[in-house]
Amino acid sequence: MTGNSQRSTSDQATSSVVSQGKPRRLYYGWYIVITLGVISIIVQGTSSYLFGVILIQLQHDLGATRAAVSGAFSLSFLLWAVTGIPAGRFVDQRGGRLLMSVGSLLGGISLIALAFAHTTWEVYLFWGLGLGIAVGLTSQQLSYAVAAAWFDRRMGAAFGVVTTFSALAPTLYLPAMALATASLGWRPAVIIAGLLYVLAALPALLLLRRRPSDLGLEMDGAVKTSRPALISPGLSMSQALRRVAFWTITLNATFALVSWSAISAHQIAFLTGRGIDPVVAASALGVVGLISIPARLAVNVLADRLGPRSLLGITMLIQAVGTLCLLLTTNLAWLAAYVVVFGLAFGAASGLRASLMAEHVGRRRFGAITAVMGLVSIGPSALGPVVAGSLYDHFGNYDLAFGLATLCMVGATAMVLVTPVTTSQYTREQAVAH
């Protein structure tokens, strides 16, 4: 064995070793995941939180029902899911640089146009259609597909970096947009959000690259040698769709997203109805992201050693308990319980889920396969905001809606428990053995 092959995984990940007497630079893959993380702050902040911030003002301004306005949010989920299929194939074949740049520009233009909307159909056009497609081209799901081309043994850590950055969406983006909406109104706030989305195109265009070999590197930052890089071919699409694990992981995502889509669109309105000040509610929810930062990174790094399956099950169970705390919130004490409990697991699941899927299907068609998972899971989740809004319109409260959201989180936990323990030939254990 050469000295390079005997390096520790940690040394390979940081690329801080000395090769031929010269210090090596930080592996470019880490620049890739940092870039993806910065983009995810804006994408996650917009797609998951902005609508909930502007919902009440938007509804009153248009004179529409809450269910009708929430339909635009649901439509964006559907377009996000449908767009993800060709987008995932594109990333597998050509990388994410062009795709994410175009998506960032489209998202910014759609949001700025939304600020001048005066009818419900315009909200559906600019948020539902325009922003939905833009999110499909810049989603965290695609970020994982881009990062998967650069990492093997350190894939969990790479995904952890991306999801840790996205934690800044509720921590920074959500309170900032809530303050802008409260002080300036929803229209100026949406223009600000649009400009931020446009700015996301710059790091995507300047820094993203397709794969390590384009820069003369190997997976995880190993020194380039004369032997070809070991790329796990993985499964074809048809093979993946025949795996039980694909469907249990997909159902886990489906239950979790149905719950979270309803909560993210209506939680500020829910808390306001429970007597919590809107800015206080938004700020408290921002703390959820802050609390989640250590867990996002630590849990996903730990997955490189312990595997993602058990850790995913634990995080989903904690989120179920946290959602129950939200349902019981009538004062600041219960709000604090929700923030702490839900925050401990919030966000870590997406990286663990991607790692678990990668263990079962490999990376050859990872982008396309996870896009199909997204279509199956995001499609039903589009109903979450509409159903929650309809239940509110009918009962005058969110009790039943958020009770169902809690049950969905329990269902997500159950799907992890029935996911097969055995994986494809390209599991982490086999990779470490080599």
User: HEC string of 315-377?
Assistant: HHHHHHHHHHHHHCCCCHHHHHHHHHHHHHHCCHHHHHHHHHHHHHHCCCCHHHHHHHHHHHH
- Model confidence pLDDT, tens digit, residues 160-181: 888 888 878 777 788 888 889 9
Mean pLDDT over all residues of the chain?
82
Q: CA dist 328 to 213, 316, 348, Å?
A: 52, 19, 24
Q: What is the structure's pLDDT at 304?
A: 80
Tokens of 372: 């199909």
How far from the centroid of its chain's Cα atoms is residue 48's Cα? 9
State both tokens at 224. Answer: 């380039």
pLDDT for 70-90, tens place per residue? 888 888 878 888 888 888 888
What's residue 105's pLDDT? 93
pLDDT in tens, 242-267: 889 999 999 999 999 899 888 877 88
Q: How far is CA 127 from CA 74, 116, 169, 303, in A?
A: 10, 12, 19, 36
Query: Which amino acid would we find at residue 345?
Result: A
Written out in words, the top-level CATH class of the domain with range 24-213+231-433 is mainly alpha
Section 18-26 average pLDDT: 54
CA dihedral 263, 267, 273, 278 (to 10 degrees): -170
Q: How close are the terminal C-alpha atoms of the chain, in Å?
A: 12
Q: Sign (positive/negative) of CA torsion 104, 124, 264, 313?
A: negative
Quick: pLDDT tens for 324-363.
999 999 888 999 999 999 988 877 888 889 888 888 888 7
User: What is the Cα–Cα distance from 114 to 100, expressed in whole angstroms?
Assistant: 21
Higher pLDDT, 19 or 222: 222
**CB burial of residue 270 (10 Å; 0-12, 13-18, 19+):** buried
As a dihedral over the C-alpha atoms of residue 230, residue 231, residue 232, residue 234, rounded to 10 degrees, the angle is: -160
List, for residues 282-335, the tens digit of each pLDDT value.
Answer: 777 778 877 888 888 888 888 888 888 889 999 999 999 999 999 999 888 999
Q: What is the pLDDT of residue 185?
A: 92
Is residue 422 very low, low, confident or very high in pLDDT (cuts 50, 70, 90)? low
Rounded distance, CA 258 to CA 379, Å? Answer: 9
Residues 6+ apart with CB under 8 A from 63: none
Q: What mean pLDDT comes out for the span 42-49?
A: 85
